[in-house]
Amino acid sequence: MTFSASQIAMLIQGKLEGNPDAGVNSFGKIEEAKNGQLAFLANPKYEEFLYTTEASVIIINESQELKQTVKGTLIRVPDAYTAFATLLTKYQEMMTQQLSGIQQPSYISKTATLGEQVFVGAFAYIGENVVVEKNAKIFPHCFIGDNVKIGSNTIIHPGVKIYHSCVLGKNVVVHAGTIIGSDGFGFAPQADGSFKKVPQIGNVMVEDNVEIGANATIDRATMGSTIIRSGAKLDNLIQVAHNVEVGHNTVIAAQAGVSGSTKIGDNVMIGGQAGIVGHINIADGVKINAQSGVSKSIKQANAAVTGSPAHDYTSTLRSQAISRKLPELEKRIQELEAMLKQLLSEKV
């Protein structure tokens, strides 16, 4: 399908510079794009390619100043990266909206309720009293347990397992291999050294507009709910333990782990491989650097921490800078000691 530059400009509310009839039918990186493709420039590091790209249409920032002539048609917007993301989202929606109906073989309980334009892929299992709202897409080899609710326009990618009684809101995306609602890690130590399992009778609640990456695990609550608030984005290979609460618009990068009953505020940013202990609170807007180990609550909003155990980010950088100078400082101390020793011997 081909779109003109004027159609694209209208969709992203941009200003056209060049041929409004220039057509594109695919996307390309600005350094590789060919004729008939759409590219974008958001990072100044790639500005040189703006003048060499063969792309027919390029989305750029309003503030971008041209140093040379550009071959393609330009569309200026306040934020090129966001505009390009909007286009990709629309394109993806067009592709997924074409999917509807129920592929066979699949199992759908007679007590399940499916809304309009729902897609169920082959080898999917949908249990008792499940509710799947309109335009939701459940891809092949998914397991949807009893009493699960899936909101409208939610996409469940292949191989996802959602255990019983969990609730997913609208416009949620869950990527392949993720497990939602497996038992929390609850075991009571016994006098003989063994561990008695504590039944996990809660659920997981995922609010609207959440995206969860591939092969993530979100444990059900012991009682109540493990909650992922609206707008949160979780990367691949993340572990969220029982009764955790992840705040609105919080982002967590790959291989991070959050222990049980920890409450994470809104707009928090957690780097890859970070580890957070249980039963603590993370204030709104906190930034946790990659591979940090957070062992106590962070009460100051918008704080930035790094290291293990995690400390203030700026102070840690200063400490690291000083530690790199330790060999030089040691040498200077030895020189000063030698000078002091000589001065004392001269006085004697």
Active centre residues (catalytic): 242
**Count of residues for the chain?**
348
User: What is the C-alpha separation between 163 and 294, in angstroms, rounded?
Assistant: 29
Residue 171 exposed, middle or buried by CB count within 10 Å (0-12, 13-18, 19+):
middle
Angle subtended at Cα 232 by Cα 214 and Cα 199, rounded to the nearest 5 degrees: 70
Tokens standing for residue 146: 């009893």
Contact, 217 vs 239, CB < 8 A?
A: yes
C-alpha distances (whole Å) from 62 to each of 31, 49, 77, 83, 161 are 20, 17, 5, 12, 44
Preceding omega of 20 cis (within 30 degrees of 0): no
DSSP assignment letter at 272: T
